[in-house]
Amino acid sequence: MRHWVFAPAVLALLVMLVISASPAEAHAVYISSSPPANGIFPTAPTGVSVTLSEAVQPGTQTLRVTNASGVREEMGKATISPIDPRIVTIGLAPIGPGVYTVQWIVEDAVDGHWTSGSFYFMVQNPDGSLPGTFPGGSTSYPPISLAEVFLRFVAFLSLAIAFGGTVLAIVAWIPAGRDLENAGDSAFESGFAALLLWARLGALLFAAAAGGWWVHAVTEAPPEVVPVVIGSAFSLTLIARALLGLALAAVLSLAIARARPWTPGEDRAPMEREADAERALLPLLAALILGLFAVFAGTAGSHAAATAVSILGAGMDLVHQIGVYTWVGGLLGIVRLRRWLRAPEGLRLARGVYARFSQLAGYAVALVLGAGVVLGLLLVGTVTALLGTGYGWTLLGKIALFIPMVSLGAYNRYRVLPASSMPDALPRSMGSLAENVRIEAVIGAVVLLIAALLTASTPPATAPATNLFALQATSDGVRFDLEVDPFPTVPGSYTFQVLLSNATTGVGLGGTRSANLTLTLLDGTPTPQTIRMDGPHGNHYFVDTSLMSAPGTWRVDLDVVPATGPTISATFHIVLQ
């Protein structure tokens, strides 16, 4: 049965390799922009905005726009939208035909990651021809930092040890000892002292991990924005976690001082020794409150708190983490106490501890699974994102590991514990419980490792808010507003609609006779394909077509026949991947 212990570790290693090979999901990523990536425009835009997958830390945003010669074309400083903190905007100097590069560098306000990227847009020549071609290549994102994953894992594991050990002492160990006639014996007291020392060690490790995580986040930042990073919300949550870890260790030290362990040869009555454990209860309750604050501080800097329904996301993440730390931390605490729980003189105490923890674990599992379902819907959203991204598969791996944990827990509660009521079966049952809990604890530690990978990654990016593609051109005093629905990205069927208006007054232009749409794929041998548009309907025409059936750059020519006078024409371009 011990071979099962190695399976979760192998799975965790495989998941780490998969995520490390999927760097595009490690940081805030490009969602959309105006002008859109690879957009070709009849007239030059006056500004650039980039929408990323997560909020940008104020003061860290940089947007640069350069022409083909590398000359900067942006004006002023980049700003973050007060309505949507994922949007960074900057103005443009007057520009002419050419190919332009947009580059951004920002810090993710959610998890402190730095990310950068670039895209291109083009302004066409006055005659509708193209001034050049787009450069090849695509944006690449920094991979997940294994150092950060390690620090996150140590922080999660150590907080589980501190928080879960505290809960185990309050809910299981002290009540189990109180219910026994020999509550003050050496197994009870020595085990209790060991549990408190174990929890204090977790608190100290948690403070150290949070401090190391903060140092890592600051040293990763460009020197010119270090002061901004130090004052960021994410940085402050790390500082709060480190301080809470130290406070938790101090309170647990007070509990240890009040719970004096029994030493062989010491003449103390059982009731007196039991009172020592009871005196430690008040510091333990204070430690529990500090632990809850530490969990809450972690929730405030999570991806769940950055979802569209942030209050619900943060609340569910808090509930989920409390359940995980109680469950996994309790298992780790019991493994630490196996020396006392498997000793012949501690078997009755062990049965009481296992029985109470089994009930506690049942409630914790309900919190973990219930809140986890809601979090999954908030962070992933769709089956496509769940099955089509590294983040989704990692989440599935975490869920899969809960299955054997829940199964072992149920087996312990409904098969092994009832069998232990027979005195002859008690030693064998406690041995089985100890082995099963050991396996559960190993799997739980792997779950925390996967949680570290998930929190160091960025959830699947949401789709652009708009599904409408719009371009504008002016010809012979007439303004052409071209709209394409859905947003053209790949070959397929699209609806083209053009609205005509007076370029000076903006008043809709009626009285036209007909309009033709000509589509030409410029890559390869151009073969124009012309179709008549439906209309006029007041000042607009439309047509549904599947002629854009191949990737490449498509030239779109609109020819409108007025009631009198020559045909009015405008040229646009659409790039399909």
CA distances from 78 to 43, 70, 133, 186, 202 (A): 22, 19, 27, 67, 43
- For residues 210 and 245, is the Cβ–Cβ distance under 8 A? yes
Residues with Cβ < 8 Å from 124, sequence gap 6 or more? 40, 41, 42, 97, 130, 131, 571, 573
Distance CA(166)–CA(333), nearest Å, equals 9
Report the interhelical angle of 146-168 vs 281-300 (nearest 10°): 150
pLDDT in single tens digits along all 577 residues of the chain: 444 445 555 555 555 544 444 443 446 778 888 888 888 999 899 999 998 878 888 888 889 999 999 999 999 999 998 888 888 999 999 999 999 999 888 888 777 777 788 889 999 998 888 998 888 755 555 667 788 889 999 999 999 999 999 999 999 998 887 776 544 467 788 888 899 999 999 999 999 999 999 999 888 877 877 888 888 888 889 999 999 999 999 999 999 988 765 555 455 555 455 556 678 889 999 999 999 999 998 887 677 656 655 688 788 888 999 999 999 999 999 999 988 888 887 888 888 899 999 999 999 999 998 888 888 887 777 777 777 777 777 788 888 888 888 888 888 889 988 888 888 888 888 888 888 999 999 999 999 988 888 887 777 755 554 557 889 999 989 999 999 998 898 899 999 999 999 989 989 888 899 999 999 998 777 789 999 999 999 899 999 999 998 998 999 999 999 988 899 999 999 999 8
Q: Of 268, 211, 265, 280, which is closest to residue 243 (Cα–Cα)? A: 211
First to last CA, the chain: 52
In this structure, how many other beta carbons lie within 10 angstroms of the beta carbon of residue 28?
27
Q: In what order do the strands lie in the sheet with 469-475?
A: 469-475, 478-485, 494-502, 540-545, 534-537
Distance CA(357)–CA(331), nearest Å, equals 9
- Statement: the pTM of the whole predicted model exceeds 0.85: no
In this structure, how many other beta carbons lie within 10 angstroms of the beta carbon of residue 59?
13
- For residues 189 and 277, is the Cβ–Cβ distance under 8 A? yes
Amino acid identity, residue 366? A
Distance CA(413)–CA(419), nearest Å, equals 10
pLDDT score of 533? 94
CA distances from 456 to 111, 327, 358, 459 (A): 7, 22, 32, 10
Distance CA(177)–CA(188), nearest Å, equals 6
Beta bridge partners of 51: 32, 87
> For residue 58, what are its two tokens?
């104020």
Distance of alpha carbon 161 from its chain centroid, rounded?
A: 24
Q: Of 469, 459, 115, which is closest to residue 308 (Cα–Cα)? A: 459
Distance of alpha carbon 181 from its chain centroid, rounded?
A: 50
Q: What does the DSSP assignment read for 46-99?
A: SEEEEEESSPBPTT--EEEEE-TT--B-EEEEEEE-SS-TTEEEEEE----SEE
In Å, the largest CA–CA distance within the chain is: 115
pLDDT score of 72? 93
Residue ranges of alpha helices (H) inside 380-526 are 383-388, 390-411, 417-419, 426-456
pLDDT score of 185? 63
Helix (H) or strand (E) holding 279: helix 270-279
Q: In what order do the strands lie in the sheet with 47-52?
A: 30-34, 47-52, 87-92, 74-80
